[in-house]
Structure 1
Amino acid sequence: MSVQINCEQNCLTAKKIYDAAKADVFDAWIDAAKTTHWWGCEDTSKVQSDIEPQQDGCYRHKMTINGVGEHTVEGKIITFDPPNLLIYQMPGFSADQIVTVRVIFEQSESGTLVTLMQSPVHPEYQEIVSNGWRAAFERLGQFFDGQRRVA
């Protein structure tokens, strides 16, 4: 299944089925040694991750993006329910905005369905956010196929 992305009412939804157990897919989201191999947009060449995999834990992904330089995404885990649900918050594009990302992990007949919902995503940022998640979701599939990003 390719990545399915939809943006409606300032909410982005991304879905993909992975050929891996639900616990393994959840773990790939919260294990810093694994996120370094798949996190980031298409032009991300390196990621340094620090993750406190727990309720109220902090996370930080420092990405090296080709042609851009370094970009850091950080926030707080507000719901930690392995291997079913992960909700975290991070600063938005404006100083007073908080973005919430909800990631649901569901076992299906063909693998693990991951559904991500991010909001708000204002119309002017929908393309860049959609492209970033599409690339990350595809790279996560490559991770489960055995491909690793070399740092």
Structure 2
Amino acid sequence: MASKPSLVLKRRLKAAPEKVYEAWTKPEQMTHWWGAADTSKPPIAETDLRVGGRFRVQFWAKNEHHSVSGVYREVVPNRKLAFSWAWQSTPERESLVTIELNPVTEGTMLTLTHEQFYDEKARDDHGRGWNMSLDRLEAFLG
């Protein structure tokens, strides 16, 4: 069986790991940066931040409603998050996201690994979306 596509993105952020972690885990902060450039402010962001807890984000892009959710598999405050990832429209295509936060001079090196994509198109689409979201996260964190 062929391996499923994956992607790894790295971003140096000018914020401490604690601030970056909060932006990923606090719904009131997630709504400021989550989504692509053409995304309106997400009307719903929910987290139950514990191993086995769920998260959900709903937003509108290109006049369409999108909802993604998953289950936290690993929670290491200010260092690491790992969670399943599935769109409401294609729940059978579950993938896995891991966020690693490493302190560096004047900020944080964020490494986002998204693996087990259904196909290369899904990987490429998510790569574009994640890069737009990370741009928004960087702007949000200042």
- Using structure 1 for the length normalisation, give the TM-score: 0.84
Which letter maps to 1:61? V
Assess, with a 3 A threshold, how the Cα gap between structure 1 residues 83 and 63 changes in structure 2: closer, same or farther: same
* Corresponding residue to 1:58 among 49, 54, 57: 54
Equivalent in the alignment of 1:16: 11
Higher strand share: 1
Assess, with a 3 A threshold, how the Cα gap between structure 1 residues 111 and 56 changes in structure 2: closer, same or farther: same
- Structure 1 runs of 4+ with >3 Å offset: 92-97
Counterpart check, 1:123 vs 2:120: yes
- Using structure 2 for the length normalisation, give the TM-score: 0.89
Count of aligned pairs = 137
Assess, with a 3 A threshold, how the Cα gap between structure 1 residues 106 and 62 changes in structure 2: closer, same or farther: same
RMSD: 1.8
Per the alignment, in what secondary structure is the counterpart of residue 46 of structure 1? coil
The answer for unaligned runs of 5 or more in structure 2 is none
Work out the CA distance in 2 between the residues paired with 1:13 and 1:23.
22
Which letter maps to 1:133? W
Q: Which range moved further: 92-101 or 77-86? A: 92-101
Correspondence list, 1:27-106, <5 A: 27-47=22-42, 48-65=44-61, 67-91=62-86, 95-106=91-102
The Cα of 1:127 is off from its aligned counterpart by 2.4
State whether residues 42 and 135 of structure 1, in contact with CA within 8 Å, keep that contact through their aligned partners in structure 2: yes
Work out the CA distance in 2 between the residues paired with 1:9 and 1:91.
15
The Cα of 1:28 is off from its aligned counterpart by 0.6
